[in-house]
Amino acid sequence: MSTESLRAPVALVTSADKGIGLETARRLAGAGYRVYLTARSSERGRAAAAILGAQLLELDVTSDQSVRHAAKSVEQAGGHLDVLVNNAGITGPVRDDPHDYTADDMTKVLLTKVGYIRVIHAFLPLLEKSDDPRIVNVSSGLGSFTRVHDRSRTGAFAGTPIYAASKAAINMMTVQFASLLPHIRINAADPGLTATDLSSGQGHSVHDGTDAIIACALAAPGGRSGTFAGRDGTVPW
């Protein structure tokens, strides 16, 4: 690894082998960051990392062992982390009849979202070695209580109650951690409806979908923490 590369700020993006994660990694690399691209699929991850010139880390956010191993790899390579983007997530099942939602459905989705805390826990010591550490938690406007109570909004009840609940949990986690860790800027970003596999190709481009994430990740020192923002500005809680 070159001296110039070692001096570059360091970012890690979870689930970055496609969609919003991949575009986030691409834009951070373009901004001069040394990027760790994480993926559960080594084959797809290697292809994505090669395209971006990023470094692949195999990481399963539902596994303590996997996350600890990834954190150890970053520590050995450079010893610190400047930006962590928690992006991993699944929509879970969409049931035609609400009677059919089960606890197992919720468990499957929340196990991935618990990964946000698992990753924060493992990488916090490396973030605290940065002069300007930032965490961006990828959330969704579907987790906004204000929006879901606005009956005039088209799509206020889109998606599933399980997915929306998981995003609302991410929002509260963001606010609480921002308060408890004032030396780290921690914000939630709403990509909006973005054309990815999760949305069946509906919505705006992945570039537009990453605008809020990149804004949080690249904000100048001294910026706000504990916020929830989309590409058009603040999103109501």
Q: Which of 36, 113, 116, 167 is catalytic?
A: 167
The yes-or-no answer on residue 129 being catalytic is no
For residue 13, give the H/E element and its range.
strand 10-13
Evaluate whether 21 touches 95 at the Cβ level (below 8 Å).
no
Of 48, 94, 50, 91, the residue nearest 194 (C-alpha)? 91
Q: What b-and-e string marks burial along 74-95, b requiring 16 or more CB atoms within 10 Å of the CB?
A: bbebbebbbbbbbbbbebbbee
Which amino acid is located at 5 in the chain? S
Please provide residue 16's backbone torsions phi and psi, each rounded to the nearest 5 degrees.
Answer: -110, 25
**Could you give the angle at the alpha carbon of 171 between the alpha carbons of 192 and 229, nearest 5°?**
45
Q: Which of 33, 36, 116, 163 is catalytic?
A: 163
The yes-or-no answer on residue 163 being catalytic is yes
**Angstrom distances, CA of residue 195 to CA of 73, 76, 147, 157:** 32, 36, 21, 19
Which stretches within the chain are classed as H helix? 3-7, 19-30, 42-52, 64-77, 103-127, 145-148, 161-180, 206-209, 211-217
Strand pairing category for 233-234 and 228-230: antiparallel
Residues with active-site annotation? 163, 167
